[in-house]
Structure 1
């Protein structure tokens, strides 16, 4: 894990069963601890102060683009140049990996802007995951296999906030589905914190779907 790595934090309230989500990033790393920014609440976008001993689950994307997960707790509050938290960093054996094939892929329509040298166009996704998207192709804008596209994706998170994700994506497949052309795109360059936002968005949508099924 390198300095600046984006972290997603989940804290389970044992009394209510509610899971709160926060985001942070790594400031410094030692053999047994990570020094991280004060967490920002996903819903309020405000900095929160968590007490020592708070247990949480951390997920992050490594330099190999694999999603890693481990359980930890806040070891101390640290007063450096800026306020920070020290969390325990487990041994390698205690860090789990979530393979790329385990990225949650959901069927949903979100707005996408596609830019390339010869033209630009807007469309919507057919599905999305942390590894890429499938988009509906307008008839007037055919694309080629292996073509690389500069794309912007608009996500409305559970909190109601809009997040704008920028990525470079490669066209890996073009299909015709009952007269509708769809292109499957794989992310080849994306900021890891923005990729984390996509992963979080997919999990939120999956959770919403499960709640509807149970209601």
Structure 2
């Protein structure tokens, strides 16, 4: 059964921060279209803390049937709709993708991939630390003029299991920077402009990478 209007959804949001990824938020389905669900801004369970979502955020969600059975599906944020209150547009799951077992395939995977970065007339190559359908992180030597809020054009080199090579192009924004004990800086980015076709390339790579890691 598909989730319905007014049904409560319980979601977790993909992030490389394991503590944050484990937090559960509650929301309600306010409206729907053929391929989308419109949900209210999620609230952390047991508090009044709202969770701000961004375009491309990957979600693990579940809802309860009338018998109390949990039904899980994965989705991602498609955008927003200004109504009486602001609503979040997420992809509606296919019926066959809904399961009674949680499958958090949305989580980012560790991967060292080449990524070209360009902003303010600068262009250079970095190596990613992890990648996902909602964003990437990479390591910097700390000498580049990168700061939180910086927007950049990126080209990610993807190597698939069948030997093919492809690029994913997108615009990303730096959301957090963390200095490591090695002196290097981990730069965490979210996608702010990416076509669905480019995002699917990255998600395909993540699925293949997860399969390799499990083996």
Short-chain TM bin: 0.5 to 0.7
Is contact 1:132–1:187 with CA below 8 Å preserved after alignment? yes
Partner of 1:192: 196
Give 1:61 shift.
Answer: 6.7
Give 1:127 shift.
Answer: 0.5
Is contact 1:61–1:68 with CA below 8 Å preserved after alignment? no
Partner of 2:150: 147
Structure label with greater radius of gyration: 1
Correspondence list, 1:116-131, <5 A: 116-131=119-134
Following the alignment from structure 2 to structure 1, what is the Cα–Cα distance between the partners of residues 173 and 77?
Answer: 21
Partner of 1:66: 90
Partner of 1:132: 135
Following the alignment from structure 2 to structure 1, what is the Cα–Cα distance between the partners of residues 92 and 162?
Answer: 24
Is contact 1:62–1:68 with CA below 8 Å preserved after alignment? no
Give 1:102 shift.
Answer: 6.1
CA change 1:60–1:194 in 2 (3 A) is: farther
Partner of 1:113: 116
Is contact 1:174–1:183 with CA below 8 Å preserved after alignment? yes
Is contact 1:153–1:166 with CA below 8 Å preserved after alignment? yes
Partner of 2:160: 157
CA change 1:63–1:131 in 2 (3 A) is: closer
Give 1:209 shift.
Answer: 1.1
CA change 1:201–1:193 in 2 (3 A) is: same
Structure 1: unaligned runs, 5 residues or longer = 1-30, 32-58, 73-93
Give 1:191 shift.
Answer: 0.9
Following the alignment from structure 2 to structure 1, what is the Cα–Cα distance between the partners of residues 142 and 75?
Answer: 38
Query: Residue deviations 1:176-195, cap 9 Å, x none?
Result: 11111111000000010110
Residue 209 (1) aligns with residue 213 (2) = yes
Q: Which runs of 4+ in 1 moved over 3 A?
A: 59-69
Partner of 2:8: none
Size of the aligned set, in residue pairs, is: 129
RMSD over equivalenced CA pairs, Å: 2.6
Partner of 1:54: none
Is contact 1:125–1:136 with CA below 8 Å preserved after alignment? yes
Query: Residue deviations 1:42-98, cap 9 Å, x none?
Result: xxxxxxxxxxxxxxxxx99774373444257xxxxxxxxxxxxxxxxxxxxx979xx
CA change 1:67–1:160 in 2 (3 A) is: farther
Is contact 1:123–1:136 with CA below 8 Å preserved after alignment? yes
Structure 2: unaligned runs, 5 residues or longer = 1-33, 35-73, 80-88
